[in-house]
Structure formats: structure tokens, C-alpha cells
Chains A and B, each alone.
Chain A
Amino acid sequence: SQQGEEDPQALSIQEGENATMNCSYKTSINNLQWYRQNSGRGLVHLILIRSNEREKHSGRLRVTLDTSKKSSSLLITASRAADTASYFCATDPNTGGFKTIFGAGTRLFVKA
């Protein structure tokens, strides 16, 4: 079963706008990661935030983590048409193993 649930399922914005995607999960975690998938390709890691961190930045990406609410958000600033892809959150549940469980993903479409 999926650990994470993304919201919204799909998002369409204009180039230059910011895109915000949210992820909620069910169990306590060691870390949370965000991945990107272009159509027909494998997933590419974007950013990892550990359970004791609250915010992390990487270029135009900003990730927040609220462990009390079991939620995370990914913000892409100044979006570009090339950002069009599916974005997935993934969690490493704190269950003693080393699984990485993915959510259903958000499909982002950036219009030029």
C-alpha cells in the first residue's frame, strides 16, 4: 500500500509561476524524498529531507516537512516548460527496514 498521498493529482500553471505540491503520509519516517519523472522515463531524485529537518532548498526547489502533521510540500519557483513532469514524494518508514514507498504523484504541466 502507498505511504504517501500527493495533492493535487494534477496541476497546470503558466511559465514563471510557482508550483506547490503537497504530500501526506501515514507512519513515522526517517526521511522524505521528492522525485521527478518525465514521460516514459525513470525517476530522478530531486531532494531529500531528514525527519529532524524542517526546510531544505536546492536551486529553485524548496521542501518543507512537518512531522507533527505528517506532511511535506515541494515548491518549484519560477517554473519553466521543462519542469513539466510527474513529481512523487517517497518516504522511508521508521519500521526497522529500508523500504522507500512512493505516493501517487502530482502531474505538473507548465504552459509556455
Chain B
Amino acid sequence: DAGVIQSPRHEVTEMGQEVTLRCKPISGHDYLFWYRQTMMRGLELLIYFNNNVPIDDSGMPEDRFSAKMPNASFSTLKIQPSEPRDSAVYFCASRPGGREKLFFGSGTQLSVL
């Protein structure tokens, strides 16, 4: 298996633009997580899905952020409109069961100018 795949690897955009980050979890994994990492706030859990259903989105910072998982092999995190304070590394992670280790993707480095 290729592991968790995220795209793009880097994204540079201007304030106000829409940004879409993509994630393909490991096949057979029932749980998918989106995290954001910054120097100031560390690794923050944004949202997680179980069997494609959003379970907890309490970490989503505001309405500008949305996440979907239309099927078991694909998830998106969208920011619209983007702001400079959204600049961070966004990680997707998956795991096969509820109480097991996470497998992380390589992350998307987002810079909003």
C-alpha cells in the first residue's frame, strides 16, 4: 500500500481565494482525520470521519472551513475564503479501527499571502 496520500504537497495562494486540500486514506481504514500544525498552536484536530460520516468537527475553526468524504477513498478539506492566518501544514491521517495507531500523510504546506 502507498500509505496516506495528500495533494498538493505545497499550495501558495492569495487571501480570499478558495483552497482545496485532498486526501486518499489507506484502503480498508475506517477512520480519517484532518489535523493542522502551526508553531503557535501545535497539532490541532480539525475533524474526523468514521465510515465516511463526519463524527466530530468541533475543531474546525470557523465556517470558512469545510470537509467532505464522498467515499471511502477520498476526502477534501476546503477553505473559502482563505486568510493569511490559515497558513499551516495540514495533515490527513487514517486508521483501521477506533483505538489504533494513526497513519499520516506527508502533509500540505499552505501559504496564504
6 contacts between A and B (CB under 8 A): A2-B42, A48-B100, A99-B48, A100-B33, A102-B42, A105-B43
Known: A92-B99, A104-B42, A105-B42. A98 touches B104 (CB 8 A): no
Interface segment, one of A18-26, A39-47, A60-68, A69-77: A39-47
Question: Is B42 a contact of A98 with CB atoms below 8 Å?
Answer: no
Is there contact, CB below 8 Å, between A48 and B101? yes
B75 contacts across to A, CB distance below 8 A: none
Per DSSP, chain B at the interface is strand
A98 to B: closest C-beta gap in Å: 4
Which A residues are in CB contact (< 8 Å) with B105? 42
Q: Give me the interface of A with B, judged by CB distance under 8 Å.
A: 2, 30-31, 33, 35, 41-45, 48, 88, 90, 92, 97-105
